[in-house]
Amino acid sequence: MKFKYLPNVATLELDQSKCNGCGMCLVVCPQEVFSFNEKVSSITDRDACLECGACARNCPQGAIRVRAGVGCAYAVLMDKFNLKGSCCNDSCGCSLEDIADR
Amino acid sequence: MSRSQKELPMASSDNAAECCPGAVAGEDSYLALEENWLSGQIETAAGPVWRVDTTLNRKDQIDAVKMRLGIGRMSFAVPPGLYAVGNPDDASSVIVSANYKLSFDSLRRELSGLNLWILVLDTGGINVWCAAGKGTFGTAEVVRMVEASNLSEVVSHRTLILPQLAAPGVAAHEVRSQAGFKVIYGPVRAADIPGFLKAGLKAGPEMRRTSFTLAERLVLAPVELVGVVRPLIGVAVILLLLNLIASYFGDGRFLLTSVLGNTVSASLPFVLAVVVGTVLVPALLPYIPGRPLAWKGWLLGVLLAFAYMTVIVPGITLLETAAYYLVLPAITAFLGMNFTGSTTYTSLSGVVKEMGVALPLIIISAGLGLIGLGTAYFV
């Protein structure tokens, strides 16, 4: 079963003119957001994107942009109130600086 | 938060005196004393390498339970370094792993009968997905450990197999240019590794998708539950004080048993709300209508409030009824929203949007409800 989260929020962008068709984004995406269309990658399920940033980091052409971050309410909350330290009582292990940039 | 990790020293390296915490410095067998999941060493061109068991022993299993309960979580890290599985040679595959003990255990137990190498990175004792997000399972750490372990002397090929979920932190093309090793992303789940190796390092689409099964959702519940024990105790203490005050102003007699009894029964709906929010919401996640997790939690909270007041305490006052309808769904909505951190599919943008709407409503609802409940003690 494929879980769906809120529609029309993902910040994912693909510049197809830069794509060389290496297919790395299709490999690394855990949500099957991309598919091949005429040997060029295209975004076919943007709403499934969880903004993990794997595609952008592994695109050798720099054709993909996404505001990568952790979709964790607790971390967002801590960040909002400027509380530093670890979140998620260690079950997730992420820390707050990832929210802003990683 | 990352505990300082010393690298697993190769017997040939000059830092053998620096070893894992609690180990006997300078002794070659120090690791075997500490780590009961090792079974001997094998010789390589870069010195001896420890071999790992592919079966989990009793201590591994007890440790896993403790980790799932959130007890002593940070003390479960594997010393970074190169390990052997079976009897690998210079042509055997190299699998790269995080040094979170649970991740490492779930990897090695899938590898029985195989001959290969495991390169354990220093991810601060954190799992692959979270470490990749944080960047500790990143390009720099992969490059550093390839060099620190003298991997290019141990194997003749130049290929690393990384878990696919490391991809948010690792740029495959940069590892190739910096360390000379080609990165192949393996399957999401360790259980698929034997099939992936057999297929010639090919992962089918089903190996590349994350799943979020009932078992995967529920295994997170104990840690979530343990996390809310402290606020729950706080609630119980406040209720105890309220009952004491109410008892004093009520009939002026302190009947300890009735005060305690009232406190327990007044705490019950809060305990139920916590169980609904941390266990029932994850369990029923795909079946609760609507997308936002706060909304899913809120819906179950309304059902809980209804069930509580029709089955457990029928005939309470209108004020208390209204108060419970405001408080209980606010708690379950908050806990549902919190579950976004445990899911495999929620995006930062989505969470920010959801919170912008849900959080003010939760605060207002909980605040009004608590005022109502407090008032109900004195009218």
Does position A95 have pLDDT exceeding 50, yes or no?
Answer: no
Rounded distance, CA B96 to CA B357, Å? 41
Percent of chain A past pLDDT 90, that is, above it, reads 60
On whether both B97 and B235 belong to a single domain, the answer is no
Assess whether A19 and A46 both reside in one domain. Answer: yes
β pairing state of B49-52 and B38-42: antiparallel
Q: B78 and B173 in one domain?
A: yes
Same structural domain, A41 and A62: yes
Whether residues A35 and A51 share a domain: the answer is yes
Taking 90 as the threshold, does the pLDDT of residue B135 lie above it? no
| pLDDT computed for residue B107 by the predictor | 93
How far, in Å, CA of B5 to CA of B38, rounded? 18
- Interface touch B169/A3, C-beta < 8 Å: no
10 Å CB burial of residue B313 (0-12, 13-18, 19+) is middle
Average pLDDT over residues B99-113: 90
Say yes or no for a CB contact (<8 Å) between B348 and A76.
Answer: yes
pLDDT digits (tens, 9 = 90+) for B54-73: 988 888 888 787 777 766 55
Q: Is the dihedral of CA B97, B103, B104, B108 positive or negative?
A: negative
Burial of A11 (0-12, 13-18, 19+ CB in 10 A): middle
pLDDT at B20 over 60: no
Residues B27-50, mean pLDDT to the nearest whole number: 73
Q: Which of B70, B165, B285 sits opposite A30 (nearest CB)?
A: B165
Q: Are residues A77 and A62 in the same domain?
A: no
What confidence score (pLDDT) does residue B272 get? Answer: 97
Its domain, for residue A94, covers 70-102
Q: Which domain holds residue B312?
A: 217-376
Query: Among A37-41, B286-290, B346-350, which is the least confidently predicted range?
Result: A37-41
Distance of residue A17 Cα from the nearest chain B Cα, in angstroms: 20
Residues A34 and A62 in one domain: yes
User: Domain holding B137: CATH number?
Assistant: 3.40.50.11600
Same domain, B255 and B281: yes
Q: Based on the domain organization, do B284 and B201 belong to the same domain?
A: no
* Same-domain pairing of A10 and A27: yes
Whether the CB-CB separation of A88 and A94 falls below 8 Å is answered with yes
Instruction: State what percent of residues in chain B have pLDDT above 90.
Output: 60
**CA of B44 vs chain A CAs: smallest distance (Å):** 32
Q: Report the greatest alpha carbon distance in chain B.
A: 86
Calculate the average pLDDT of chain A. Answer: 82
A1 touches chain B (CB under 8 A): yes
Based on the domain organization, do A51 and A98 belong to the same domain? no
Strands B182-185 and B159-162 turn out to be parallel
Q: Mark whether A40 and A63 lie in a shared domain.
A: yes
Q: B251 versus B84: which is more confidently predicted? A: B84
Q: Is the pLDDT of residue B147 over 50?
A: yes
pLDDT of B133 > 80? The answer is: yes
Please judge whether B348 and A86 are an interchain contact, meaning their C-beta atoms are less than 8 angstroms apart.
no
What confidence tens digit (pLDDT) does each residue in B152-193 have? 999 999 999 999 999 999 999 999 999 999 999 999 989 999
Check residue A60 and give its pLDDT.
Answer: 97
Residues 6+ apart with CB under 8 A from B110: B54, B190, B191, B193, B194
What's the pLDDT at A91?
42
Q: Which residue of B has its CA nearest to A33?
A: B209
User: Residue A60: its chain B contacts at CB < 8 A?
Assistant: 173
The pLDDT value recorded for residue B73 is 53
A82 & A61 share domain: no
Domain closes at, from B174, B209, B244: B209
- Our CA-based measurement puts residue B11 at a distance from the nearest CA of chain A, in whole angstroms, of 32
**A93 to chain B: which residues are within 8 Å by CB?**
1, 100, 124-127, 130-131, 134
What's the pLDDT band for B332 if we cut at 50, 70, 90?
Answer: very high
pLDDT at position B321: 95
Under the banding of pLDDT at 50, 70 and 90, the label for residue B251 is: low
Would you call B74 an interface residue with chain A, using a CB distance cutoff of 8 Å?
yes
Residues B66 and B33 in one domain: yes
Q: What pLDDT band is residue B287 in, cutting at 50, 70 and 90? A: very high
* C-alpha–C-alpha distance, residues B132 and B123, integer Å: 9
B5 interfaces chain A, CB cutoff of 8 Å: no
Least confident of A84-93, B141-150, B164-173: A84-93
B253 pLDDT band (50/70/90 cuts)? low
Residue B259: predicted pLDDT:
86
**Interface ipTM above 0.95:** no
Q: Do A24 and B172 touch (CB under 8 A)?
A: yes
A64 plus A80 within the same structural domain: no
What mean pLDDT do residues B204-230 have?
87
Contact B337 A92 (CB under 8 A): no
Give the pLDDT confidence score for residue B38 in this predicted structure: 87
3-state helix, strand, coil in chain A (%, to 5): 25, 15, 60
Please, what's the b/e burial string for B210-229 (b: 16 or more CB within 10 A of its CB; e: otherwise)?
Answer: bebeeeebeebbbbbbbbbe
* pLDDT tens figures, A47-80: 999 999 999 999 999 999 999 988 888 888 877 7
Q: Are residues B261 and B321 in the same domain?
A: yes
Whether residues B151 and B264 share a domain: the answer is no
Identify whether residues B247 and B156 lie together within a single domain: no
Is there a contact between A31 and B74 if contact means CB atoms under 8 Å apart? no
Instruction: Identify which has the larger pLDDT, B251 or B138.
Output: B138
Are residues A65 and A55 in contact, defined by beta-carbon separation less than 8 angstroms? Answer: no
What does each C-alpha distance from A93 to B74, B133, B185, B228 come to in angstroms? 10, 10, 22, 17
Say yes or no: A17 and A63 in one domain: yes
- Hey, are the CB atoms on B286 and A3 less than 8 Å from each other? yes
Residues B174 and B104 occupy one common structural domain: yes
Closest CA to B184 of B198, B163, B165: B163
Q: Which of residues 25-64 of A touch B (CB under 8 A)?
A: 27-32, 48-55, 57-58, 60
pLDDT at B226: 84
Number of domains in chain A: 2
Q: Domain end: B151, B174, B209, which one?
A: B209
Say yes or no: B311 and B363 in one domain: yes
B14 or B93, which is more confident: B93
Which chain B positions have a beta carbon within 8 Å of A53's beta carbon?
133, 168
| Same domain? B201 vs B345 | no
In terms of domains, do A58 and A91 share one?
no
Residues 168-227 of B with CB under 8 A from A: 168-173, 185, 188, 205, 208-210, 212, 220, 223-224, 226-227
**Do B199 and B82 sit in the same domain of this protein?**
yes
End-to-end CA distance of chain A: 29
The count of structural domains within chain B is 2
From first CA to last CA, the distance across chain B in angstroms is 49
The 10 Å Cβ neighbour count of residue A44 is 12
CA dist A83 → A74, A77, A78, B38, B133 (Å): 11, 9, 5, 40, 19
Is residue B5 pLDDT above 60, yes or no? no
Residues of A in contact with B185 (CB under 8 A): 27-28
Q: What does the block give as tokens for B338?
A: 């919190």
| Boundary residue ending a domain (B181, B209, B237) | B209
Six-digit token pair at B156?
A: 């003749």
